[in-house]
Amino acid sequence: MAVAEHQMTLAEKVSAMIEEQELTRDEVLGYLRQMMEIRALENQIAEFLGKAVLKGASHLYAGQEAVAVGAVGAIETTDLITSTHRGHGHGHAHGDKVAQTPELKQEHYNKMMAEVLGKATGYCKGKGGSMHIADVLHGNLGATGIVGGNIAVATGAALAEKMKGSGKVVICFFGDGAVNEGSFHESLNMASIWDLPVVFVCENNMYGMSVPWATVTKLPDAAARACAYGIPGEVVDGMDVLAVRGAVKKAVDRARRGEGPTLVECKTYRYYGHSHSDPRAYRTKEEEAAWKARDPINALRDGLISIGWLTEAEFDKMDETVQAKLETAVQFAQASPEPSPDELTTDVFAPAKFTQADYDTDRRLRAAIRENPSQFKQVTYAQAIADALREEMIRDERVFCLGEDIGLYGGAYGATRGLYAEFGKWRVLDTPISEASIAGAAVGAAMAGMRPVSEIMYVDFTPLAMDQLANQGAKNRYMFGGKTAVPMVVRTEGGAGRAIAAHHSQSLESLWTHFPGIYVVMPSTPYDARGLLKAAIRDDNPVMFIEHKMLYKEKGPVPDEDYIIPFGVADIKRAGRDITLVTYSRMVYRALEAADILAKEGIDVEVIDLRTLKPLDLETVVSSVKKTGRLVGVTESYENTSFINEVMMQVNEAAFDYLDAPMVRVASANVPVPRAEILEDLAIPNTGRIVAACRKVIS
């Protein structure tokens, strides 16, 4: 068969693929036009880079056009894609397919060029630029500048489409460098075990940045790795648009039938370097010439001429049309305004949905609990979490949970107990131990319209998911010009107290308050846990919801009525006039104990529970400081760069003139949390240390 195919003429090969795929002349000419438009765009960008008209990094796609056009040609306009830093081709092929008229196609081309130049009229209002073009509203979930960063996102989007029963398929583009990333392996495994409708398209252009493919693996083909996950892997000529389309179409049909993912490896070549500054010293001119002799545009042109579907004159006319279209796009982009300075801080977070009634209800319930807690049922912290999850899953079918041991086991601390039996495995998903793919899947599912609540068992493990949460979930809305929302929650737990040493006892909240685009919530009581988790699930932003391992058995009054607690509202757990004591999570209890001790000495301490660190209720803290003139901050996180330091800095800026004494902080020692109980107790704040700090500011 291989010999027979080798002996086929060009016309016979092209005719066979067209007939096999049942393609029309207009469809194939459309593929040729799209490849020409991508090439024209890339050459123009290269010219801009050479003249320093364009600043920043831009990774050109020239040479690889057949992959984007062929793969996108195999899907429907309602299907989804995720892209990479070398994503102009994917963005154009998908946007051109979605655009149904010549006018819309030109508008799409204009927006592509404008975004590359960082203009306000670009797809992402100039906030994403060359590496982050997205049209989320039409199914392009965006490009990422992190190698392999989009693979888990695509997996999550596919999970969402499977759960919705939409019949949609997700195409995930990435380069050969990504197959050595952990996210590649975690995501393929997750997609495989759940038979998700996703096609992984590896564009193997033979070089990661400068290092050749052959030096980073013993396998000649990336597709060979698919067998490890029990899914098909296919290698295809990435310089042949019809061959790519045929392979991807087979994989798409398989995914749409519910048979799961496929890894399609397209052997291709980038004509330019990794970036504009790349001298390409690692490859020879002979190698480049050999690949350019197989140019995908020329190959399709010659094939169509050979079967009589195109003439030289028609091709020349098409080229003129493409150049005119490019010129229009360039003129549009260059004439477009720069983003307004007012846009600097927009699009970081989706707008809050809290109503005045939500604020009033929280205020009323807190007052009632303080005045007569016995009128409410006593509920454990863990049960309050489970109740919130259950209520929101009943209220909104888009809400689902995923994480390690949350299903049959009911969660490491029992906070999801009973949910699996009530809602089933597709609403309470037990995942592999794969923190990056858990987080990334939540990002993708959220972007595709679901409201995932993922669980990372310990906050110590969240750095394993750093890229997916901080670079994808938290930044997508801003990078994509506010055109998307990422309504997801990451439940995790932190803190010391169980003598389980340095890898299971940290308080890493300041790590997460650092990143724009993600909220951080740390409830201390069952009442707060239930109301804040319900609010987090309903919010349209990523939320890091950090519980404390020593609070799960803590009981407290919780009303029967449905309520949510708006973000950015601190709770004065104890009113006082002499000292403002600011804290959160488990340290609220130690602070209240300290306040009781100090009250016997005639020192009246006001204890403020922040409840949410981002957004921070600075107003309540400042108002208290203006009354007391003194502030003590308490945190269980490391003293070095803890979040309480940020609170104190903001108080210094807003209320310095009201301070009657230097502010004092009580934090954990700057050492890994020790296993020995005697050392652990010394490492973290206790009631005595808080009392001593308060005496210091009052003396």
SS3 of 602-615: the string is CCCEEEEECCEEEC
Residue 69, both tokens:
């056009």
Q: Which residue, 277, 311, 345, sits at the end of a domain?
A: 345
3-state secondary structure of 550: coil
pLDDT for res 186:
97
633: in domain: yes
Query: Are 341 and 381 found together in one domain?
Result: no
Q: Contact at 8 Å (CB) between 687 and 597? A: yes
Distance CA 191, CA 197 (A): 8
Query: Are 375 and 327 found together in one domain?
Result: no
Query: Are 535 and 614 found together in one domain?
Result: no
For residue 388, the domain's CATH number is: 3.40.50.970
Cβ atoms < 10 Å from Cβ of 698:
19
Q: Contact at 8 Å (CB) between 637 and 684? A: no
pLDDT along the chain (699 residues), means of 10: 62 95 97 98 93 87 97 98 96 96 97 96 95 94 94 98 98 96 96 98 93 89 96 98 98 98 97 89 93 97 97 97 98 97 96 96 96 96 97 98 95 94 96 96 97 96 95 96 96 93 92 97 98 98 98 97 98 98 98 98 98 98 98 97 97 97 96 91 95 96
Q: Which residue, 530, 558, 586, sits at the end of a domain?
A: 558
| Distance (Å) of CA 38 to CA 10, 60, 90, 311 | 24, 10, 9, 21
Q: Report the DSSP pairing between strands 571-574 and 605-609.
A: antiparallel
Instruction: For tokens 């096609």, name the residue.
Output: 199
DSSP string, 155-187: HHHHHHHHHHT----EEEEEEGGGGGSHHHHHH
Query: Are 452 and 492 found together in one domain?
Result: yes
> Which residues does 585 contact at the CB level (< 8 Å), separation at least 6?
495, 507, 522, 523, 524, 546, 548, 551, 636
Nearest partner of 189 among 164, 152, 135, judged by Cα:
152
Q: Which residue, 511, 537, 558, sits at the end of a domain?
A: 558
Helix axes 25-50, 65-73, angle to 10 degrees: 140
Query: Are 94 and 195 found together in one domain?
Result: yes
Query: Are 193 and 265 found together in one domain?
Result: yes
Query: Are 625 and 498 found together in one domain?
Result: no
| Distance (Å) of CA 7 to CA 13, 53, 267 | 10, 48, 22
566: in domain: no
Q: Contact at 8 Å (CB) between 115 and 332? A: no
3-state secondary structure of 82: strand
Distance CA 564, CA 486 (A): 20
| Assessment of whether the complete model's pTM goes beyond 0.85 | yes
106: in domain: yes
Query: Are 328 and 430 found together in one domain?
Result: no
Report residue 688: phi and psi, to 5°. Answer: -60, -40
359: in domain: no
Distance CA 472, CA 463 (A): 14
Domain limits at 391? Answer: 370-558
Count CA atoms within 13 Å of residue 327 on its CB side.
6
**Active-site pick, 85, 92, 504, 548:** 504
pLDDT for res 35:
98
Report residue 454: phi and psi, to 5°. Answer: -95, 155
| Distance (Å) of CA 421 to CA 118, 193, 412, 429, 431 | 50, 21, 17, 12, 16
170: in domain: yes
Q: Contact at 8 Å (CB) between 202 and 223? A: yes
Per DSSP, helices labelled H in 65-119 are: 65-73, 88-98, 102-116
Distance from the first to the final alpha carbon of the chain: 92
Q: Contact at 8 Å (CB) between 510 and 641? A: yes
Q: Contact at 8 Å (CB) between 548 and 685? A: no
For the segment 643-699, what is each residue's pLDDT rounded down to a tens digit? 999 999 999 999 999 999 999 999 999 999 989 999 999 999 999 999 999 999 998
Helix (H) or strand (E) holding 25: helix 25-50
> Which residues does 522 contact at the CB level (< 8 Å), separation at least 6?
509, 546, 547, 548, 584, 585, 610, 611, 612, 613
The residue length of the chain stands at 699
Query: Are 438 and 417 found together in one domain?
Result: yes
Residue 128, both tokens:
């994403």
Report CA 343 to chain centroid distance, whole Å.
22
For the segment 118-130, what is each residue's pLDDT rounded down to a tens digit? 999 999 999 999 9
490: in domain: yes
Query: Are 302 and 439 found together in one domain?
Result: no
pLDDT for res 54:
87
235: in domain: yes
pLDDT for res 2:
44
Cβ atoms < 10 Å from Cβ of 344:
10
pLDDT for res 320:
98
Instruction: For tokens 């050999």, name the residue.
Output: 290
Provide the Cα torsion 459, 520, 152, 448; round to 10°.
150
∠ CA 459-461-466, nearest 5°, is 95
DSSP string, 682-696: HHS--HHHHHHHHHH
> Which residues does 329 contact at the CB level (< 8 Å), separation at least 6?
41, 106, 109, 110, 112, 113, 114
Distance CA 622, CA 650 (A): 9
For the segment 173-200, what is each residue's pLDDT rounded down to a tens digit? 999 999 999 999 999 999 999 999 999 9
Nearest partner of 83 among 128, 125, 53, judged by Cα:
128
pLDDT for res 270:
95
Residue 676, both tokens:
């020995």
312: in domain: yes
Number of domains in the chain: 3
DSSP string, 189-228: HHHHHTT-SEEEEEEE-SBSSSSBGGGT-S-S-GGGGGGG
pLDDT for res 51:
87
Query: Are 104 and 243 found together in one domain?
Result: yes
Report CA 340 to chain centroid distance, whole Å.
26
Question: Can 504 be counted among the known catalytic residues?
Answer: yes
Q: Contact at 8 Å (CB) between 644 and 582? A: yes
Report CA 22 to chain centroid distance, whole Å.
38
Per DSSP, helices labelled H in 509-667 are: 509-513, 526-538, 587-599, 618-628, 643-655
Query: Are 680 and 584 found together in one domain?
Result: yes
SS3 content of the chain, % helix, strand, coil (to 5): 50, 15, 35
Residue 627, both tokens:
């009354």
For residue 663, the domain's CATH number is: 3.40.50.920
